[in-house]
Amino acid sequence: MVKIQAERKFLIDLTNFKQYMQLQNLSKGTIDNYVYELSKLPGDKNLQTSFLIENRNRRMLMSAYRKYLHYLRSIGKIDGEILFNKLDTYKLPKRRGQSKKGNWYKQDEWNAIVSNGKDRCARMFLWLGFQFGFRLSEIINLRLEDVDLENKRLLVRQHPENIGKNQDYWHPKHFRDRSVPIAETKVRVLKRWIKERPDLDHPYLLWSGRTKKKLSKRVCQRWTQDVRKGLKPHDLRRSFAKVLYYNSDKDLKLVQITLGHASISTTSTYLGLEEEEVQEKFSKAMS
Protein backbone atom coordinates (compact mmCIF):
# COMPACT_ATOMS: atom_id res chain seq x y z
CA MET A 1 0.00 0.00 0.00
CA VAL A 2 1.43 3.34 -1.07
CA LYS A 3 1.52 5.94 1.67
CA ILE A 4 2.44 9.60 1.71
CA GLN A 5 3.25 11.90 4.57
CA ALA A 6 0.75 14.66 5.29
CA GLU A 7 1.07 17.88 7.26
CA ARG A 8 1.84 17.43 10.99
CA LYS A 9 3.40 14.03 10.13
CA PHE A 10 0.10 12.18 9.65
CA LEU A 11 0.49 9.10 7.43
CA ILE A 12 -2.51 8.71 5.14
CA ASP A 13 -2.83 5.89 2.63
CA LEU A 14 -3.91 6.69 -0.93
CA THR A 15 -6.63 4.05 -0.81
CA ASN A 16 -8.77 6.11 1.57
CA PHE A 17 -8.06 9.27 -0.41
CA LYS A 18 -9.22 7.48 -3.55
CA GLN A 19 -12.47 6.49 -1.87
CA TYR A 20 -12.97 10.12 -0.81
CA MET A 21 -12.67 11.27 -4.44
CA GLN A 22 -15.06 8.56 -5.62
CA LEU A 23 -17.66 9.85 -3.15
CA GLN A 24 -17.23 13.28 -4.68
CA ASN A 25 -18.06 11.88 -8.13
CA LEU A 26 -14.69 12.65 -9.68
CA SER A 27 -14.09 10.82 -12.95
CA LYS A 28 -11.93 7.69 -12.97
CA GLY A 29 -9.32 9.44 -15.11
CA THR A 30 -9.03 12.34 -12.67
CA ILE A 31 -8.78 10.01 -9.68
CA ASP A 32 -6.08 7.91 -11.33
CA ASN A 33 -4.10 11.03 -12.30
CA TYR A 34 -4.34 12.49 -8.77
CA VAL A 35 -3.21 9.24 -7.15
CA TYR A 36 -0.33 8.96 -9.63
CA GLU A 37 0.85 12.51 -8.94
CA LEU A 38 0.64 12.14 -5.15
CA SER A 39 2.47 8.82 -5.21
CA LYS A 40 5.57 10.76 -6.33
CA LEU A 41 5.66 12.89 -3.17
CA PRO A 42 8.60 12.19 -0.81
CA GLY A 43 7.73 10.71 2.58
CA ASP A 44 9.77 13.29 4.50
CA LYS A 45 7.80 16.43 5.40
CA ASN A 46 10.56 18.89 4.49
CA LEU A 47 11.36 17.12 1.23
CA GLN A 48 7.68 17.04 0.39
CA THR A 49 7.37 20.82 0.81
CA SER A 50 10.44 21.53 -1.31
CA PHE A 51 9.23 19.09 -3.97
CA LEU A 52 5.90 20.90 -4.23
CA ILE A 53 7.54 24.33 -4.42
CA GLU A 54 9.93 23.17 -7.14
CA ASN A 55 7.04 21.71 -9.15
CA ARG A 56 4.39 24.38 -8.51
CA ASN A 57 4.08 24.96 -12.28
CA ARG A 58 2.54 21.50 -12.74
CA ARG A 59 -1.23 22.01 -12.63
CA MET A 60 -2.13 18.36 -12.13
CA LEU A 61 0.17 17.98 -9.13
CA MET A 62 -1.09 21.20 -7.56
CA SER A 63 -4.70 20.18 -8.14
CA ALA A 64 -4.08 16.77 -6.59
CA TYR A 65 -2.38 18.21 -3.53
CA ARG A 66 -5.08 20.83 -2.98
CA LYS A 67 -7.73 18.12 -3.16
CA TYR A 68 -5.68 16.06 -0.72
CA LEU A 69 -5.59 18.97 1.74
CA HIS A 70 -9.38 19.13 1.61
CA TYR A 71 -9.43 15.41 2.36
CA LEU A 72 -7.21 15.92 5.42
CA ARG A 73 -9.52 18.68 6.64
CA SER A 74 -12.61 16.50 6.16
CA ILE A 75 -11.21 13.74 8.40
CA GLY A 76 -9.93 16.18 11.03
CA LYS A 77 -6.19 15.81 10.41
CA ILE A 78 -5.71 19.54 9.81
CA ASP A 79 -7.86 22.48 10.85
CA GLY A 80 -9.43 25.17 8.72
CA GLU A 81 -6.71 27.77 9.29
CA ILE A 82 -3.96 25.44 8.10
CA LEU A 83 -6.06 24.45 5.10
CA PHE A 84 -6.59 28.04 3.97
CA ASN A 85 -2.91 28.88 4.42
CA LYS A 86 -1.87 25.84 2.40
CA LEU A 87 -4.38 26.51 -0.37
CA ASP A 88 -3.06 30.04 -0.64
CA THR A 89 0.52 28.75 -0.77
CA TYR A 90 -0.15 26.15 -3.45
CA LYS A 91 -2.17 28.20 -5.90
CA LEU A 92 -2.81 26.70 -9.32
CA PRO A 93 -0.65 28.23 -12.07
CA LYS A 94 -2.58 30.18 -14.69
CA ARG A 95 -3.09 28.60 -18.07
CA ARG A 96 -1.25 30.32 -20.89
CA GLY A 97 -3.36 32.89 -22.63
CA GLN A 98 -6.18 32.52 -20.11
CA SER A 99 -7.27 36.00 -19.14
CA LYS A 100 -11.00 36.17 -19.95
CA LYS A 101 -13.21 35.99 -16.89
CA GLY A 102 -16.11 34.40 -18.76
CA ASN A 103 -19.38 35.43 -20.33
CA TRP A 104 -22.46 36.86 -18.71
CA TYR A 105 -26.01 37.04 -19.98
CA LYS A 106 -28.65 39.70 -19.38
CA GLN A 107 -31.85 38.83 -17.58
CA ASP A 108 -33.96 38.98 -20.74
CA GLU A 109 -31.81 36.17 -22.20
CA TRP A 110 -32.26 33.77 -19.30
CA ASN A 111 -35.64 32.30 -20.26
CA ALA A 112 -34.45 31.51 -23.78
CA ILE A 113 -31.38 29.70 -22.45
CA VAL A 114 -33.29 27.76 -19.79
CA SER A 115 -36.05 26.67 -22.20
CA ASN A 116 -33.43 25.04 -24.45
CA GLY A 117 -32.33 22.64 -21.71
CA LYS A 118 -32.15 18.99 -22.71
CA ASP A 119 -34.72 17.80 -20.15
CA ARG A 120 -36.51 19.06 -17.05
CA CYS A 121 -33.46 18.48 -14.81
CA ALA A 122 -31.20 20.37 -17.19
CA ARG A 123 -33.66 23.25 -17.27
CA MET A 124 -33.90 23.26 -13.47
CA PHE A 125 -30.11 23.29 -13.19
CA LEU A 126 -29.88 26.32 -15.51
CA TRP A 127 -32.73 28.05 -13.67
CA LEU A 128 -31.08 27.59 -10.26
CA GLY A 129 -27.79 28.96 -11.56
CA PHE A 130 -29.37 32.07 -13.03
CA GLN A 131 -31.84 32.78 -10.23
CA PHE A 132 -29.65 32.16 -7.17
CA GLY A 133 -26.04 32.41 -8.33
CA PHE A 134 -24.95 29.09 -6.85
CA ARG A 135 -21.59 27.54 -7.63
CA LEU A 136 -21.69 24.34 -9.67
CA SER A 137 -20.85 22.14 -6.67
CA GLU A 138 -23.50 23.91 -4.58
CA ILE A 139 -26.25 23.07 -7.08
CA ILE A 140 -25.08 19.47 -7.35
CA ASN A 141 -25.13 19.03 -3.56
CA LEU A 142 -28.39 20.91 -2.91
CA ARG A 143 -30.78 18.66 -0.98
CA LEU A 144 -34.52 18.69 -0.44
CA GLU A 145 -34.02 19.69 3.21
CA ASP A 146 -32.04 22.73 2.05
CA VAL A 147 -35.15 24.20 0.44
CA ASP A 148 -36.78 26.10 3.31
CA LEU A 149 -40.04 27.23 1.72
CA GLU A 150 -41.55 28.29 5.04
CA ASN A 151 -38.86 30.93 5.60
CA LYS A 152 -38.35 31.48 1.84
CA ARG A 153 -34.67 30.68 1.65
CA LEU A 154 -32.25 28.18 0.12
CA LEU A 155 -29.50 26.88 2.39
CA VAL A 156 -25.93 26.22 1.31
CA ARG A 157 -24.41 24.20 4.12
CA GLN A 158 -22.38 21.22 5.17
CA HIS A 159 -24.46 18.21 6.23
CA PRO A 160 -23.78 15.40 8.67
CA GLU A 161 -21.23 13.09 7.13
CA ASN A 162 -23.14 9.82 7.31
CA ILE A 163 -25.43 8.96 4.42
CA GLY A 164 -26.38 5.33 4.85
CA LYS A 165 -23.10 3.48 5.10
CA ASN A 166 -21.12 6.00 3.06
CA GLN A 167 -19.73 9.37 3.97
CA ASP A 168 -20.33 12.63 2.16
CA TYR A 169 -17.37 14.98 2.58
CA TRP A 170 -18.72 17.88 0.52
CA HIS A 171 -18.74 21.31 2.14
CA PRO A 172 -19.29 24.89 0.95
CA LYS A 173 -16.24 26.80 -0.18
CA HIS A 174 -14.12 27.87 2.80
CA PHE A 175 -16.66 26.02 5.00
CA ARG A 176 -18.93 29.09 4.98
CA ASP A 177 -22.61 28.20 5.23
CA ARG A 178 -25.09 30.76 3.92
CA SER A 179 -28.72 31.21 2.95
CA VAL A 180 -30.11 32.84 -0.19
CA PRO A 181 -33.60 34.43 -0.14
CA ILE A 182 -36.33 33.06 -2.42
CA ALA A 183 -38.64 35.54 -4.13
CA GLU A 184 -42.37 34.71 -4.04
CA THR A 185 -42.48 33.80 -7.73
CA LYS A 186 -39.57 31.40 -7.25
CA VAL A 187 -41.29 29.72 -4.28
CA ARG A 188 -44.05 28.48 -6.58
CA VAL A 189 -41.52 26.98 -9.00
CA LEU A 190 -39.70 25.12 -6.22
CA LYS A 191 -42.95 23.89 -4.65
CA ARG A 192 -44.05 22.40 -7.94
CA TRP A 193 -40.63 20.85 -8.54
CA ILE A 194 -40.58 19.13 -5.14
CA LYS A 195 -44.18 17.96 -5.52
CA GLU A 196 -43.44 16.35 -8.91
CA ARG A 197 -40.06 14.93 -7.89
CA PRO A 198 -39.98 11.13 -8.30
CA ASP A 199 -39.14 8.79 -5.44
CA LEU A 200 -35.34 8.54 -5.51
CA ASP A 201 -32.78 6.69 -3.41
CA HIS A 202 -30.86 9.88 -2.62
CA PRO A 203 -31.80 13.21 -0.96
CA TYR A 204 -30.58 15.57 -3.68
CA LEU A 205 -32.83 18.07 -5.42
CA LEU A 206 -31.59 17.25 -8.93
CA TRP A 207 -30.65 14.03 -10.68
CA SER A 208 -29.13 12.82 -13.92
CA GLY A 209 -30.47 10.72 -16.79
CA ARG A 210 -32.58 7.59 -16.72
CA THR A 211 -30.63 6.17 -13.78
CA LYS A 212 -31.68 9.22 -11.73
CA LYS A 213 -28.35 9.29 -9.90
CA LYS A 214 -26.81 12.32 -8.23
CA LEU A 215 -25.57 14.92 -10.71
CA SER A 216 -21.93 15.09 -11.72
CA LYS A 217 -19.96 18.12 -12.86
CA ARG A 218 -19.38 16.57 -16.27
CA VAL A 219 -23.12 16.17 -16.90
CA CYS A 220 -23.76 19.81 -15.96
CA GLN A 221 -20.96 21.00 -18.22
CA ARG A 222 -22.43 18.99 -21.09
CA TRP A 223 -25.89 20.45 -20.44
CA THR A 224 -24.61 24.01 -20.72
CA GLN A 225 -22.62 23.26 -23.87
CA ASP A 226 -25.66 21.68 -25.50
CA VAL A 227 -27.76 24.77 -24.78
CA ARG A 228 -25.38 27.36 -26.18
CA LYS A 229 -21.87 27.08 -27.55
CA GLY A 230 -19.36 28.63 -25.17
CA LEU A 231 -21.76 28.63 -22.20
CA LYS A 232 -20.15 27.39 -18.98
CA PRO A 233 -21.76 26.57 -15.62
CA HIS A 234 -19.94 29.45 -13.94
CA ASP A 235 -21.41 31.89 -16.48
CA LEU A 236 -24.76 31.37 -14.76
CA ARG A 237 -23.32 32.56 -11.45
CA ARG A 238 -21.59 35.52 -13.06
CA SER A 239 -24.78 36.51 -14.87
CA PHE A 240 -26.69 36.43 -11.59
CA ALA A 241 -24.06 38.62 -9.93
CA LYS A 242 -24.14 41.24 -12.68
CA VAL A 243 -27.94 41.41 -12.80
CA LEU A 244 -28.27 41.59 -9.00
CA TYR A 245 -25.65 44.35 -8.90
CA TYR A 246 -27.41 46.57 -11.42
CA ASN A 247 -30.94 45.81 -10.15
CA SER A 248 -29.96 46.66 -6.56
CA ASP A 249 -28.62 50.13 -7.40
CA LYS A 250 -25.08 48.72 -7.42
CA ASP A 251 -25.17 47.39 -3.85
CA LEU A 252 -21.81 45.62 -3.81
CA LYS A 253 -22.19 44.37 -0.24
CA LEU A 254 -25.49 42.67 -1.06
CA VAL A 255 -23.89 40.85 -3.98
CA GLN A 256 -20.95 39.76 -1.82
CA ILE A 257 -23.19 38.29 0.89
CA THR A 258 -25.47 36.55 -1.60
CA LEU A 259 -22.60 34.98 -3.52
CA GLY A 260 -20.81 33.94 -0.33
CA HIS A 261 -17.52 35.69 -1.11
CA ALA A 262 -15.04 36.05 1.74
CA SER A 263 -13.64 39.28 0.31
CA ILE A 264 -15.45 42.13 -1.38
CA SER A 265 -12.50 42.44 -3.77
CA THR A 266 -13.47 39.05 -5.20
CA THR A 267 -16.96 40.41 -5.83
CA SER A 268 -15.48 43.45 -7.53
CA THR A 269 -13.58 41.14 -9.88
CA TYR A 270 -16.84 39.42 -10.80
CA LEU A 271 -18.36 42.79 -11.64
CA GLY A 272 -15.48 44.17 -13.70
CA LEU A 273 -16.63 46.47 -16.46
CA GLU A 274 -16.89 44.91 -19.90
CA GLU A 275 -15.21 46.63 -22.85
CA GLU A 276 -18.60 47.66 -24.23
CA GLU A 277 -19.58 49.21 -20.89
CA VAL A 278 -16.31 51.12 -20.67
CA GLN A 279 -16.78 52.48 -24.19
CA GLU A 280 -20.37 53.48 -23.47
CA LYS A 281 -19.55 55.19 -20.16
CA PHE A 282 -16.54 56.97 -21.65
CA SER A 283 -18.54 58.28 -24.61
CA LYS A 284 -21.30 59.48 -22.32
CA ALA A 285 -18.87 61.20 -19.94
CA MET A 286 -16.91 62.96 -22.68
CA SER A 287 -19.78 63.91 -25.00
Q: How far apart are CA 7 and CA 82, in angstroms?
A: 9
CA pair distance 2, 241, nearest whole angstrom: 44
At residue 122, the pLDDT reads: 95
Confidence check: pLDDT of 4 > 80: no
List, for residues 209-220, the tens digit of each pLDDT value: 778 898 999 999
How would you class 223 by CB atoms within 10 Å of its CB: exposed for 0-12, middle for 13-18, buried for 19 or more? buried
pLDDT tens sequence across 225-250: 999 988 999 999 999 999 999 999 88
* Best mean pLDDT range from 23-27, 91-95, 129-133, 161-165: 129-133
pTM of the model: 0.67
Q: Report the distance separating Cα 109 and Cα 198, nearest Å.
A: 30
* Spatial separation of the C-alpha atoms in residues 107 and 110, rounded to whole Å: 5
**Measured between alpha carbons, how far is residue 108 from residues 82, 111, 141, 240 in Å?**
44, 7, 28, 12
CA 213 to CA 254: how far, in whole Å? 35
Strand order from edge to edge, sheet including 153-156: 147-148, 153-156, 178-181
Strands 166-167 and 162-163: antiparallel
Q: What is the pLDDT of residues 152-201, one digit of tens each?
A: 999 999 887 544 444 456 778 877 899 999 999 999 999 999 999 999 98
Tell me the H-state helices in 55-133. 59-74, 80-89, 107-115, 120-132
Which helix (DSSP H) or strand (DSSP E) does residue 155 occupy?
strand 153-156
Q: What are the tens digits of pLDDT across the range 56-99?
A: 888 888 888 889 888 888 888 888 778 878 888 888 776 654 44
Domains of the chain: 3-89 (no CATH), 107-270 (1.10.443.10)
Residues 249, 7: Cα–Cα separation, whole Å:
46
pLDDT for 121: 95
Q: How confident is the model at residue 127 (pLDDT cuts 50, 70, 90)?
A: very high
